[in-house]
Amino acid sequence: MPLKSYFSNDSSAFRPEGGGVGAAVIAWHLGWSGCLLLGLVGLLFLPASLFVLAAVVVMTFPGIGAIALLNRDTPLMRRVLVWGWSLASLTAVSITGGIAGPLAIWVAMPMAAAIVLNQRSLISLGVALSLMAGLFSALVSLSGAVHMPDEQEGFWLSLIAVLLTLAALSLGLLPALRVRTERAVDSEEARARLLKVLTEQPHLVLSLDEAGRVQSAYGEAPPGLDLNQLMQNGLTGAVHVPDRPAVIAAIETALTRGRADVGFMPHAALDHYLLLSLRRASDDRLYGVLHDGSLQHAREAALEAARAEAETSSHGKTRFLASMSHELRTPLNAVIGFSDIMRLQMFGPMPTKYAEYAQLIWESGQHVLDMINDVLDMSKIEAQKYELQLETFDVREPVSQALRLMRGQAHDKGIEIFSQLPQQSVPVTADKRAIKQIALNLLSNAVKFTPRGGDVRLTLEPGEEAVTLIVADTGIGIAPDDLHRMGLPYEQAGAADMKAQGTGLGLSIVKAMTHLHGGEVSIHSDVGEGTTVTVRLPVVAQQLLLELPEAEPVTAQAQESPQAPLVRAADPLADYNATPEVLRHFGDFVVRPPKS
């Protein structure tokens, strides 16, 4: 290795901490041994004593032994090498007069070798071994039982020892100091880059203690923040008084749970709103990011106001519909009752035309009454005030009642209704009226949208955990564009004359009542071929029973059902889907004023 490599800017030859052994390290050791061997040749011409020659030969061994690092460079091998330097220097100094001898300076060689290896642990070890070698050499000198070289030998040994040691220390210190200087420069540059990033980023980064006092701050102060209050009185001093409890609670939450987020108005600018995110670091200090959230807060406030207004409007509509429906039912019941008396000719015969008109009045009244009942049911469901009256019964009973009610209407339209019910009893725990309403609405829709000559099929399939009600027709079907809207309140499909036959609430009520039971509804339809609606209802709704205290207790048979608990949806009209479940501290403040 040429000498200029020690002074070059390339530090790859002299590896930093944690790297493999460099060529300069091996060159330093071999250069030491080579210089000693040249000195040994010169000493042979004096001639020198055997002790002096032995001392020089012993000191060449550590330099030659460094070659072993080329094959196996491990921390253990490096420590062994430093220990080898210590033993060699102690031996050489001891046999040439100890600390008072001409080779006393060689007790510093373990430290020099450690500096060349450039590792903190090895440097500490080398210093300790050099001190121990010096102390032991002093004891050897005090004992007086050592061989002292004569005056001529002492002169040449001192010259060789001083020159080689100074050269070794110089060549070892220069690259080590250069590497450490480069590390210091790199660290300062990295620190400067990090500080620049912190100070130029658009938010204010804070370091807080447990009391909320600011330890350091970097970045751009958000508009409206009083920096004097922030620095003098801490974070809470810069917060509007009504918002201080929330900020204090956020600090406590961040200290205990590790994170917290809070928003507040600054003390000196109530027209602004600031957002603070706090995190607890490994040093138990709080670090936070403070930024302007005025626009976001204004949008959220506007959305909240719009939501409240919409809810008020919806509740008002619901109350209006309920009130008007009750007001309409009273005279409507009278119309239906008197027209029923007239069509049945209970007080004597009447002309055929009058009897026909009475029949039309009764049918129209029944139609209006059905629509009013649907509106009332939907109003209760939307207000989440519809309560299921749970009881245990045979599910075939309400389904059969719905079939009997619809057979007459289907016969008048020339539609055949086929039903397939289980032969054995199917006990369920549910709302009997709701089950009947579900079956009735499905059959009514099927009959309504099936042309003359078609047929409607109802199938009731019992299962271990649920019963499935399937109503299929051969009607006009539903277009794919309309299918996703089916089940929403007041949504209808088909032509205008079809829409005029109802309110669009039948399927909505089916879906809502099914969801209240913890079930689900699926619709399959092809235009021109018909529609199939499948309703799956659980046999036992354990979670539902906990939510409705008026319900009857579940039977022992129901409690043993393996069905998982069902969760009642907050909005029964919604689709029911059960989803299983550092910054470093620099000790100063670099805060930029807000940009205009």
Provide the H-helix boundaries in 517-590.
Answer: 542-547, 556-559
CA distance 188 to 356: 102
Q: Are 202 and 229 in contact (CB under 8 A)?
A: no
Indicate the DSSP class of residue 561: -
Burial of residue 245 (number of CB atoms within 10 Å: 0-12, 13-18, 19+): exposed
User: What are φ and ψ of residue 497, in 5° steps?
Assistant: -65, -30
CA distance 582 to 280: 10
Whole-number pLDDT of residue 473: 92
CA distance 493 to 490: 10
**CA quadruple 217, 219, 224, 227: dihedral sign:** positive
Strand 259-264: give its sheet, edge to edge. Answer: 259-264, 274-280, 286-292, 204-208, 214-220, 589-592
- Amino acid identity, position 314: S
Whole-number pLDDT of residue 579: 33
DSSP 385-405: -----EEEEETHHHHHHHHHH
Burial of residue 234 (number of CB atoms within 10 Å: 0-12, 13-18, 19+): middle
Indicate the DSSP class of residue 450: S
What token pair was written down for 11? 């530090």
CA distance 86 to 299: 75
Strand bridging mode 416-420 / 455-462? parallel
CA distance to 129, 440, 451, 518, 579, per residue, from 513 (Å): 88, 13, 28, 9, 20
Report the candidate in 480, 463, 460 with the shortest Cα–Cα distance to residue 471: 460
DSSP three-state, residue 336: helix
Residue 392 pairs in a beta bridge with 429
Whole-number pLDDT of residue 593: 61
User: What are φ and ψ of residue 471, in 5° steps?
Assistant: -120, 115
Strands (E), 509-592: 520-526, 530-538, 589-592
pLDDT tens digits in sequence order for the chain, 596 residues long: 343 443 344 434 444 444 456 788 888 888 888 888 888 888 887 777 888 888 888 988 998 988 888 888 888 999 999 999 999 988 888 888 888 888 888 888 898 888 888 788 888 898 999 899 889 888 888 887 677 777 777 888 888 888 888 888 888 777 777 777 888 888 889 988 888 888 888 888 988 888 888 888 888 888 888 888 888 888 888 888 899 999 999 999 998 998 999 999 888 788 889 999 999 888 888 899 998 888 888 888 889 888 888 888 777 776 776 676 667 777 878 888 888 888 888 888 888 888 888 887 887 777 677 777 766 666 666 666 677 888 889 989 989 988 888 888 888 889 999 999 988 888 888 888 889 889 988 998 888 888 888 999 999 998 888 899 999 999 888 877 777 667 666 566 555 455 445 556 778 888 888 888 889 998 888 888 889 999 998 864 443 333 333 334 333 333 333 333 333 333 333 333 333 343 344 445 556 566 54
Exposure string of 308-323, with b = 16+ CB inside 10 Å and e = fewer, is: eeeeeeeeeebeebbe
pTM of the model: 0.42
Whole-number pLDDT of residue 65: 87
Whole-number pLDDT of residue 502: 53
